[in-house]
Structure 1
Amino acid sequence: MAPVGEVTTFESRVASALGRLAQTCETYLVAVSGGPDSVSLLLAMVRLGFAKGDRLRVAHFDHQLRPESGDDAEFVAKLAERYSVPFHLGRPDPASDLREGPSLERAARDARYRFLCQIAEQVGAAVVLTAHTADDQVETVLHRLVRGTGLGGLAGIPEARSLTPALRVLRPMLSLRRAEVESYLEALGERGVTDASNRDPIFTRNRIRHDLLPLLRTTFNPRVDESLLRLASLAEETDALFGRLARVLLREAWLVRTSEEVSLRIGPLAGAEAILVREVIRRVLDEQSWPRGEIGHEELVSVAELVHRDPPAAIDLPKGLRAERRNRPEPLLRLRRRSTRLRLKS
C-alpha cells in the first residue's frame, strides 16, 4: 500500500489548483466516468470537505456504446451514494446515433458536454471539474503534432475554459501523473472501472498511448513526456502573447461587424507581421462563431495574403465563407457568408 503521505500530497495539489483556478465557487459538478482518474478526483473533493453543504454534485454520461456501460453508470451511482453526493445520470437522445458522422469520439464528447451544461444549469453550478491528467496532456499534444496543428493546438488541454458565459470547465489534476492517481487510490483502498475501449486500436489516441509513446520512450528519449509537457507550456505562453497582440490589432482594424459579415481596415493590417494577421482572421472566425473546422493553415495564409493583394481579389473558403480584398470606399478585407451582399456608404 502506498504511504499515507501521498494521499495528503495528492489532495493538496488538487486543492491548490482549485484555489488558483476557481477562487470562489458555491457548487462544483464533477464529471465521473468511473475510471481511476475521475474516481480519484471525486474522492479528493469529498476528503477536502467539498461534499458538505450540498456544494458537490456527480454527473455521469452513459454513452451506451459498450454492453457494460450500464455497469459503469451503476458503479458511479453507488460511489456517489456511499459518499452522500447527489448523482445525475445522462444518456444520448434516443433519436440520435453517436456512431453517425465522421468522428465517434467527437460526437460522444459533444453529447457529454451538452449533458454537463444542462445539469450545471439545473443545479446552479458555475464550475464543471474533469479529471484530465498530465498523461492526457502528453497524448493530446503528440496526437495533434502528428495530425498537424498550430500554436494553439500544441498548447494542448487548457486548465480552464468557458463552456457558456456562466459555466467554466476546470482541470485541477492536469499537473498530476497517472501513476500518482494509481498510488492515491491504492492508499485509500479504492479503485476505478476499466474501460475496454481504452485499448481498442481503432482509436488513434489508444495507438499513441500503447504503441507510439512507448516506442518514443524506449528508442528515442526516455523523458519524451517531460519534453512534450514543456512544449505545451511554451506553446501556451506564446499563443497567449499572440492573442493579446491580435486583439489590439483587431480593435484598430474593425470597421463593420454583423452576424453575417466583417470588414477590416487594410491599413493597420498591412503593417503587421503575417502571423498576427492570420491570428486576427482566426479570431474573427471564432468570435463570429463561423465554422472553422475545414479552414486550416493554408486557407488562413491565403486570406492574409489578400491584405497585400492589389488589384482586389476574392477567395472562397469552406463552409460557405468568402474573403475579399476591396479598395472602395477604402482598402478593406471583408469576410462574409457567400450569400451576403454588403453595401458601404462612401
Structure 2
Amino acid sequence: MRPGPAAGEAALDPAESAQRLAPWLGREARAGVVLAVSGGPDSTALMGCAASLPPAVPVLVATVDHGLRPESAAEADGVARAAQAHGLPHRRIAWLGDKPRTGLQAAARAARYRLLVDLAREVGAGAILTAHTLDDQAETVLMRLCAGSGPAGLGGIDPVRDLGGIALVRPFLDIPKARLVATCAARGWAFATDPGNRDPRFARARLRRVMPLLAAEGLTPARLGRLAERTRRNEAALAAAADAALRDLTRPPALPSAVALDAPGLAALPQAVALRVTVRAIAAAAGAGAPAVRLERLEAALLGRLLPAAAEGRALRLTLGGALITVSQGLLTLRAEPPRRR
C-alpha cells in the first residue's frame, strides 16, 4: 500500500537516521549487517534509511517467510523489489516444518531469530538490525506485566543483545512507530500491512486496542519505555552485585561437579542479590537443559525456606530447577538432581 501521512509525528531526517545507523553501517562498523525487513512500515523505513546512509559495510536485506498467510510469499517478493530499487541484495528465508497449534507467535519469533542468526553467520555479518519501535517496547512491557514477570522481564526489549556472537540491534527502539510511517510517507516508500497485527486471537493485538485508553490516563508508550530503561539499568547493577557476591561466597565443594556457597553469607545479602546469586548457582550446578523455574516458585522456595535455613543454621534439602540443594554445616551445596526412579 501507499503510505499515508502520520499526523503529529515528524519524519526522520537524513542526519538523525544516519546518526542512529552509523555505529553499525558507517565507517566505524567492523563487519557487515543483515537487515530484517518484513515489508511493514517500520522495517521498510529501516531499509530505506540504511540505503540512504550510504552503508560502508556489506548489507543484506533478509525477509523471513513464516508461511502462515497466503500473502507472505508475495510480500517477500515485494521486499525483494524494494531492496533492488535501493541497490541492496535480498534473501528470502522460509520457516519450514510443522507449526505449533498453541504459542504460535512465540514459536514464529524464535524461528525468525534462529534463521536470521544462521544467515548472518553464513554471510559473515556481525549484526542483525531490526526495526522495533517505542510502540513495540511499550506493548512488550505491558504483556510481561500481565504475565506476572519480574524486574528482568519488565526491562522489555534490549536495544542491543548478543545472539551467540551476533549483535541483535534495534536502532529505532526509542522512537514512535508513527515517525517511521511518516518517514515512509515523506520518502514515497510503499509498505505492506500485516492483518495479524489486528487479530484479537493474539495478546499483543488486544493490547494495541487498549493502549490509547491507557495513554489517556497517563500510561503512555514513552513512560513505559522509560520504565523499561530504568528497570534494565537497575537489573544491570543487581547482576554486577550478584556476580561479585557469587565469587566471594563460593567455597570448595565436597563433591565433584557441585557448587558450594557460604550459607550464612548468602543469607546476609539483600534478598534481591541473594535470589540472583542462588539462581546463578542453580544454573551452574544443574547444567544445560535444566528446566526453567517460575519466579513465584523460586521466591517461595528461596525466601520461604532456603534463606531462613541458611541464616539459622538448620539442615535443609530440596530440589529446584534441576538442582539438588542441601544446607548443612554452614554450606549451601548444589549439584545436578539425580535421575528419578521409575
Shorter-chain TM-score: which interval?
0.7 to 0.9
| Equivalent residue number for residue 158 of structure 1 | 158
Alignment of 1:23-34 (within 5 A): 24-34=29-39
Shift of 1:16: 2.8
Q: Distance in 2 between matches of 1:117 and 1:284?
A: 29
| Equivalent residue number for residue 120 of structure 1 | 120
Alignment of 1:93-112 (within 5 A): 93=96, 96-100=97-101, 102-112=102-112
Q: Distance in 1 between matches of 2:54 and 2:196?
A: 33
Q: Distance in 2 between matches of 1:91 and 1:260?
A: 41
Aligned-partner SS, 1:126: strand
Q: Distance in 2 between matches of 1:259 and 1:296?
A: 29
Do 1:30 and 1:42's aligned partners in 2 also have CA atoms closer than 8 Å? yes
| Equivalent residue number for residue 215 of structure 1 | 213
* 2:53 corresponds to 1:57: no
| Equivalent residue number for residue 15 of structure 2 | 12
Deviations 1:180-228 (A, max 9, x none): 0111000101121111111100000000012x2122234x23x522321
| Equivalent residue number for residue 226 of structure 2 | 230
Q: Distance in 1 between matches of 2:291 and 2:18?
A: 36
| Equivalent residue number for residue 90 of structure 1 | 93
Do 2:197 and 2:205's aligned partners in 1 also have CA atoms closer than 8 Å? yes
Alignment of 1:154-233 (within 5 A): 154-164=154-164, 166-210=165-209, 212-218=210-216, 220-221=217-218, 224-233=220-229
Aligned residue pairs total 326
Among 270, 273, 282, the residue aligned to 2:270: 273
Distance 1:89 1:263, change over 3 A: farther
Shift of 1:297: 3.1
Shift of 1:151: 1.1
Q: Which amino acid aligns with 2:52?
A: R
How many percent identity over aligned positions?
30
Aligned-partner SS, 1:89: strand
* 2:44 corresponds to 1:39: yes
Shift of 1:259: 11
Distance 1:8 1:73, change over 3 A: closer
Deviations 1:248-298 (A, max 9, x none): 011112346999753333243122011111112333456654545443233
Aligned-partner SS, 1:239: helix
| Equivalent residue number for residue 239 of structure 2 | 243
Q: Distance in 1 between matches of 2:258 and 2:113?
A: 29
Aligned-partner SS, 2:161: strand
| Equivalent residue number for residue 129 of structure 1 | 129
Deviations 1:61-99 (A, max 9, x none): 100011111111111111122222121211123xx3122
Q: Distance in 2 between matches of 1:189 and 1:31?
A: 20
TM-score by length of 2: 0.86
Q: Which amino acid aligns with 1:92?
A: W
Q: Which amino acid aligns with 2:197?
A: N
Q: Distance in 2 between matches of 1:256 and 1:62?
A: 51
Distance 1:259 1:28, change over 3 A: farther
Q: Distance in 1 between matches of 2:282 and 2:20?
A: 32
Q: Distance in 2 between matches of 1:31 and 1:293?
A: 29
Q: Distance in 2 between matches of 1:286 and 1:127?
A: 28
Q: Distance in 2 between matches of 1:259 and 1:48?
A: 56
| Equivalent residue number for residue 343 of structure 1 | none
Aligned-partner SS, 2:163: strand
Do 2:6 and 2:178's aligned partners in 1 also have CA atoms closer than 8 Å? no
TM-score by length of 1: 0.85
Do 2:316 and 2:328's aligned partners in 1 also have CA atoms closer than 8 Å? no
Q: Distance in 2 between matches of 1:284 and 1:16?
A: 41
Aligned-partner SS, 1:324: strand
Aligned-partner SS, 2:54: coil
Q: Distance in 2 between matches of 1:238 and 1:118?
A: 32
Instruction: Give ranges in structure 1 of 5+ residues lacking alignment.
Output: 341-346
Q: Distance in 2 between matches of 1:231 and 1:197?
A: 27
Do 1:243 and 1:279's aligned partners in 2 also have CA atoms closer than 8 Å? yes
Q: Tell me how large the CA RMSD over aligned residues is.
A: 2.8
Among 71, 75, 78, the residue aligned to 2:78: 75
